[in-house]
Chain A
């Protein structure tokens, strides 16, 4: 046996030699048979509930447990009934375990799909203290009180008891497995694949399709959830042509591997069909290993872009409901066959079969061939054919079973009405097969009823671009699967203009479907299970019917039928059939429930990929980042940017000390702040000026070359969208700055205006945010400092470069740069920009040159303090509900031109006499604190919403004013200067008196900026 690891996604585990006997299985594996697609020559150690066992490479946890005579693997959700496996695949509702330990503990893993690896540790779940003795099994005794929907009818009195007593008890009992609550140590990848034809499922139809398309040269992806290709052929004894089924699979897969245009992906579940041919698939790269190899993912989420898709997902056998049909040892007949043929295991050495169709008899035939005693085949059909060499009880039904922790006896009602007890340790049940229509429902397609096979088949065109072949389409025989797989592949490629023809199909089994629908045994008062995980019984469906929860959706929601981790793959059909019976309608009239993605549950880690922890979002670093790291910076996230909040100097123990120092230094001398994060948009073209006149509410057409202007941008609804400054570098060339937060939205908006509203304007836009390192140099000594940086031919005097001037200059001996005389702080200030690769050097140069002025670097906190002191609105004020009028800029909105938002800002509700105005606040008692988020009340009025007068948007401690100060919006605030109002913040226990003041706390006349 070779186990190859993922190389190009085309690995499979194929046994190189098939064992002939079970001789090496040792004494513990008492249920191990001979043969199978496992390596009986070597052994694997594993443990379940602390007990050590051995299995073989190729085993699943379920097959290995059965081999060790462990039938009891789980407890059910509600009644804590003892349970074993029902299936041998991903449809399993019962045998869910906690796999692995520590941070890798994985709840609710199906034992039927967990590949055995050396050292595997599994634990049963939802039981206490042990699987055999579960206290909560008491629920089973009280099941009569715990019927469908019982909780809707009780727990209402006394009123307080629901949340204090009842619900905590219910919640404690809830859930199946548990999370470790530690961070998942494994990595996950996400990727993208493209193909002409995606073949979902690698059974006979899928292999046939992939071979057809592969030979035609199409780009093909073949995916199967199993670790072996072959689908049902792995569990059957059919031959194909001259070969055994397994040999045909091996030969076919080998040919597919040899084709460079075919990607064979085993352990890959295609689990969702999304619009326009996009499918999600999960490849389990490392789940069969103790831990993933270094750097490799546990799983990969593939998004597959396919031009055509062929669903070859096979069919799922359905059980029959009868009393106590849920005991460990009772499983689907096909699962029993799989375990025997593929894994060389039987759940017991004496078994029985209960069926309503010919296919069930195959299990008897195969098990007898494997040396297992089949006590009887019980067939509901009176005219059942004799197929297996054992006792046939035609027209008989299993009416009850016994065996507390595992099946011991079944009770059979014979055709003549007499009853007989049969001893057996396992019972294979077949109620027929349901085509696996799951994925055809993902776009809300409805399956249609096929009377001939008594099952739903996919509706036409359920998913655009997807067709269905083989058993998934109701073509159950192997020959039909091979035939339809190839034919549908030819058709799909034909749609794409790739002409090809069907491959030569080998001879294969072609048995007709011979079934007499039979859903549940009518007998005494016991419970017959439909949804085994959620403990939904036939009685519950009857009760739902009685209480008029009759629509399929009501049935599902009231009883929880089909809401377990298998989405009802083995149970929905039975529930539906019984409801149909009760209402007297046909099954198709009764309806279908819809399956939702994903086909089988997908780990959150897989969906999340590598976007975790620090890698959740990419980081954006500013040009001075490295210097900041070296100089005591504390960083803060602003969108994806990391900006410096403040720089701590030795001895500073509280952030306020650092911020106060930075503010004082700027106002006293000079400071530097990295403002690269502000959005920059290069705007060029002969219509650039009229364009700006349109996107800004205030006038821009007449801005002089070499000048910068503040601009207020409105949304079409008249509320402020963003603000910033725009500089006119030349007649047809502007540079706009946006706020850091809105850079992307503003750019998008301007492209909308350009392309959708004024498509003939000659304007070109491109973002230059990152191309330039831009620093604010602010403070009374900023000019003196910059004179040491800017090359001497550029006149920086107040006359030569006045307030709001801009110019392309050179610095440090000839490096191209841009200089803007703009100020956010209210001080004499500039912003200087150089190509980003020189940003680090320039920052260091400025700090060096500024030493004589005691220059400081300052962060966003100091920036914020100074802009509040100066009364500049920022993000906290531009909250999306604020107008120009609210900001005190109502008159800026030009009525002489058409600009975005100007018309709508004239609406009544936005121009009320007592509209909010932005004002400043200062505490009456200087020790009091102004709190952002506090609400404002007129003095003497009640403190409630009705009397709310506004709110504080921004607040800080001003080291210049030695007081806490704030900005905010107050009704009619412009006319309330000097008024004392109450600032209340009950959520922070604050109620102080503040004075309404001019928002420009510092230099309201604007002398400094023009100095």
Chain B
């Protein structure tokens, strides 16, 4: 076991949580991510292997599917991101690779991203100050990639109206948090 101490995208040893105006913005560093993209001509085999590994089918366009311990969301044609708890799945990419074999290309994405969860009753009012997504039309399981405060982010609706994940570039975690907090203050 190595002895290097991880830090969160916001440079903390523990995740940062802000409660403002009835809204909760939490840094969620405890998720491992791996992208999986099916190889040309192996789309069905890749989907089957992934489904077997996940316990559910890879989601459709612009959707996120969840069944503990995994979640998976669509990134692009024939490409998905798989989420799993970091504690138990730090080697998620290796696990997925083992599962899909030569049917798909798997890439570790865990630390490419920072995930903020936005929870509370004013999610729509906050997000409408940040991105062009019509969040009111997003139900649980809707997932899309868009621009948020000049950053390319995934926006995933975990619970209709009250819980969204914003997954953005890790190196800009500070800027992203700043944008979220400012929007929450303005909208609530």
The reply, when asked whether chain A contacts chain B directly with Cβ atoms under 8 A, is yes
Stretch with Cβ within 8 A of A (4 or more), from B55-63, B104-112, B156-164: B104-112
Q: Which one of B105, B112, B129 has the highest number of Cβ atoms from chain A below 10 Å of its Cβ?
A: B105
- In the assembled complex, which residues on chain B have CB atoms less than 8 Å from the CB atom of A295? 182, 185-186
In the complex, the answer to whether B112 meets A771 with C-beta atoms within 8 Å is: yes
Chain A nearest CB, measured from B47 CB (Å): 15
Residue A838 at the chain B interface, CB threshold 8 Å: yes
In the complex, the answer to whether A814 meets B1 with C-beta atoms within 8 Å is: yes
In the complex, the answer to whether B4 meets A685 with C-beta atoms within 8 Å is: no
Residue B68 at the chain A interface, CB threshold 8 Å: no
Q: How far is the CA of A193 from the CA of B187 in the complex (A)?
A: 14
Residue B39 at the chain A interface, CB threshold 8 Å: yes
Chain B nearest CB, measured from A135 CB (Å): 46
Q: Which one of A191, A617, A685, A842 has the highest number of Cβ atoms from chain B below 10 Å of its Cβ?
A: A191
B2 CB contact (under 8 Å) in A187, A619, A812: A812
Chain A nearest CB, measured from B130 CB (Å): 8
Residue B37 at the chain A interface, CB threshold 8 Å: yes
In the complex, the answer to whether B186 meets A305 with C-beta atoms within 8 Å is: no
In the complex, the answer to whether B132 meets A620 with C-beta atoms within 8 Å is: no
Q: How far is the CA of A8 from the CA of B122 in the complex (A)?
A: 10
Within 8 A of A (CB), among B103-139: 105, 107-113, 125, 128-134, 136-137
Closest to B169 in A: A770
Closest to A640 in B: B172
In the complex, the answer to whether A815 meets B2 with C-beta atoms within 8 Å is: yes
Within 8 A of B (CB), among A676-698: 676, 682, 684-687
Residue A626 at the chain B interface, CB threshold 8 Å: yes
Q: How far is the CA of A686 from the CA of B40 in the complex (A)?
A: 9
Q: How far is the CA of A842 from the CA of B149 in the complex (A)?
A: 31
Residue B35 at the chain A interface, CB threshold 8 Å: yes
Q: How far is the CA of A305 from the CA of B134 in the complex (A)?
A: 9
Chain B nearest CB, measured from A192 CB (Å): 4
Chain A nearest CB, measured from B176 CB (Å): 7
In the complex, the answer to whether A620 meets B172 with C-beta atoms within 8 Å is: yes
Residue B14 at the chain A interface, CB threshold 8 Å: no
Q: How far is the CA of A626 from the CA of B132 in the complex (A)?
A: 33
Within 8 A of B (CB), among A628-661: 640-641
Closest to A629 in B: B11
In the complex, the answer to whether B112 meets A769 with C-beta atoms within 8 Å is: yes
Residue B175 at the chain A interface, CB threshold 8 Å: yes
Q: How far is the CA of A618 from the CA of B147 in the complex (A)?
A: 12
In the complex, the answer to whether A813 meets B172 with C-beta atoms within 8 Å is: no
Residue A507 at the chain B interface, CB threshold 8 Å: no
Residue A979 at the chain B interface, CB threshold 8 Å: no
0 or 1 for each of A838-850: is its CB under 8 Å from B? (1 = yes): 1011100100000
CB-CB under 8 A for A835 and B107, given A762-B40, A814-B1: no
Chain A nearest CB, measured from B112 CB (Å): 4
- In the assembled complex, which residues on chain A have CB atoms less than 8 Å from the CB atom of B150? 611, 617-618
CB-CB under 8 A for A192 and B131, given A618-B175, A621-B174, A768-B108: yes
Chain B nearest CB, measured from A305 CB (Å): 7
- In the assembled complex, which residues on chain B have CB atoms less than 8 Å from the CB atom of A684? 37, 105, 107
Residue A767 at the chain B interface, CB threshold 8 Å: yes
- In the assembled complex, which residues on chain A have CB atoms less than 8 Å from the CB atom of B111? 770-773, 835-837
- In the assembled complex, which residues on chain B have CB atoms less than 8 Å from the CB atom of A416? none
In the complex, the answer to whether A620 meets B7 with C-beta atoms within 8 Å is: no
Chain A nearest CB, measured from B24 CB (Å): 17
Residue A296 at the chain B interface, CB threshold 8 Å: yes
Residue B6 at the chain A interface, CB threshold 8 Å: yes
In the complex, the answer to whether A610 meets B6 with C-beta atoms within 8 Å is: no
Closest to B128 in A: A191
In the complex, the answer to whether A771 meets B108 with C-beta atoms within 8 Å is: yes
A837 CB contact (under 8 Å) in B29, B79, B131, B172: B29
- In the assembled complex, which residues on chain A have CB atoms less than 8 Å from the CB atom of B108? 768, 771, 835
Within 8 A of A (CB), among B140-188: 149-151, 169-176, 178-179, 182-183, 185-186
Chain A nearest CB, measured from B144 CB (Å): 13
CB-CB under 8 A for A621 and B171, given A192-B131, A764-B79, A771-B111: yes
Interface size class of A (residues with CB under 8 A): 35 or more
In the complex, the answer to whether B40 meets A641 with C-beta atoms within 8 Å is: no
**Total contacts A-B at CB 8 Å:** 147
Closest to B178 in A: A615
- In the assembled complex, which residues on chain B have CB atoms less than 8 Å from the CB atom of A762? 39-41
- In the assembled complex, which residues on chain B have CB atoms less than 8 Å from the CB atom of A771? 108-112, 170
Within 8 A of B (CB), among A471-491: none
CB-CB under 8 A for A842 and B132, given A617-B150, A682-B107, A766-B35: no
- In the assembled complex, which residues on chain A have CB atoms less than 8 Å from the CB atom of B3? 812-813
0 or 1 for each of B1-21: is its CB under 8 Å from A? (1 = yes): 111111111010000000000
In the complex, the answer to whether A835 meets B110 with C-beta atoms within 8 Å is: yes
Q: How far is the CA of A682 from the CA of B169 in the complex (A)?
A: 16
In the complex, the answer to whether B4 meets A845 with C-beta atoms within 8 Å is: yes
B171 CB contact (under 8 Å) in A611, A641, A685, A841: A641
Q: How far is the CA of A842 from the CA of B2 in the complex (A)?
A: 11
CB-CB under 8 A for A760 and B40, given A812-B3, A813-B2, A837-B29: yes
Closest to A285 in B: B186
Q: How far is the CA of A682 from the CA of B35 in the complex (A)?
A: 11
CB-CB under 8 A for A305 and B79, given A618-B175, A684-B107, A685-B40: no
In the complex, the answer to whether A761 meets B40 with C-beta atoms within 8 Å is: yes
- In the assembled complex, which residues on chain B have CB atoms less than 8 Å from the CB atom of A768? 107-109, 112
- In the assembled complex, which residues on chain A have CB atoms less than 8 Å from the CB atom of B2? 810-815, 838
Q: How far is the CA of A834 from the CA of B176 in the complex (A)?
A: 23
Residue A317 at the chain B interface, CB threshold 8 Å: no
In the complex, the answer to whether A834 meets B109 with C-beta atoms within 8 Å is: no
In the complex, the answer to whether A8 meets B151 with C-beta atoms within 8 Å is: no
Chain A nearest CB, measured from B111 CB (Å): 4
Within 8 A of B (CB), among A740-798: 760-762, 764, 766-773
In the complex, the answer to whether B1 meets A813 with C-beta atoms within 8 Å is: yes
- In the assembled complex, which residues on chain B have CB atoms less than 8 Å from the CB atom of A191? 128-130
Chain A nearest CB, measured from B177 CB (Å): 11
- In the assembled complex, which residues on chain B have CB atoms less than 8 Å from the CB atom of A732? 102, 105
Closest to A765 in B: B37
Q: How far is the CA of A189 from the CA of B188 in the complex (A)?
A: 13
Chain B nearest CB, measured from A33 CB (Å): 40
Chain A nearest CB, measured from B168 CB (Å): 9
Residue A40 at the chain B interface, CB threshold 8 Å: no
- In the assembled complex, which residues on chain A have CB atoms less than 8 Å from the CB atom of B136? 194
Q: How far is the CA of A814 from the CA of B91 in the complex (A)?
A: 12
Chain A nearest CB, measured from B129 CB (Å): 4
In the complex, the answer to whether A837 meets B8 with C-beta atoms within 8 Å is: yes
CB-CB under 8 A for A838 and B4, given A305-B132, A618-B149, A764-B79: yes
Chain B nearest CB, measured from A692 CB (Å): 15
- In the assembled complex, which residues on chain A have CB atoms less than 8 Å from the CB atom of B91? 816
Residue A920 at the chain B interface, CB threshold 8 Å: no
Chain B nearest CB, measured from A288 CB (Å): 17
- In the assembled complex, which residues on chain A have CB atoms less than 8 Å from the CB atom of B109? 766, 768, 771
CB-CB under 8 A for A8 and B125, given A762-B39, A838-B4: yes
Chain B nearest CB, measured from A674 CB (Å): 11
- In the assembled complex, which residues on chain B have CB atoms less than 8 Å from the CB atom of A194? 134, 136-137
Chain B nearest CB, measured from A578 CB (Å): 46
Q: How far is the CA of A626 from the CA of B13 in the complex (A)?
A: 13
In the complex, the answer to whether B172 meets A764 with C-beta atoms within 8 Å is: no
Residue A425 at the chain B interface, CB threshold 8 Å: no
Closest to B33 in A: A771
Residue A428 at the chain B interface, CB threshold 8 Å: no
Closest to A760 in B: B40
A836 CB contact (under 8 Å) in B37, B129, B170: B170
- CB<8 Å pairs between A and B, sample of 11: A191-B129, A192-B131, A303-B132, A611-B150, A620-B172, A761-B40, A762-B39, A835-B110, A836-B111, A837-B29, A838-B4
**A-B contacts besides A192-B128, A766-B79, A840-B11, 10 pairs, CB < 8 Å:** A8-B125, A300-B129, A611-B150, A621-B171, A764-B39, A772-B111, A812-B2, A814-B1, A837-B6, A841-B4
CB-CB nearest 8 A-B residue pairs: A684-B105, A836-B111, A618-B175, A771-B112, A295-B185, A762-B40, A837-B6, A815-B2
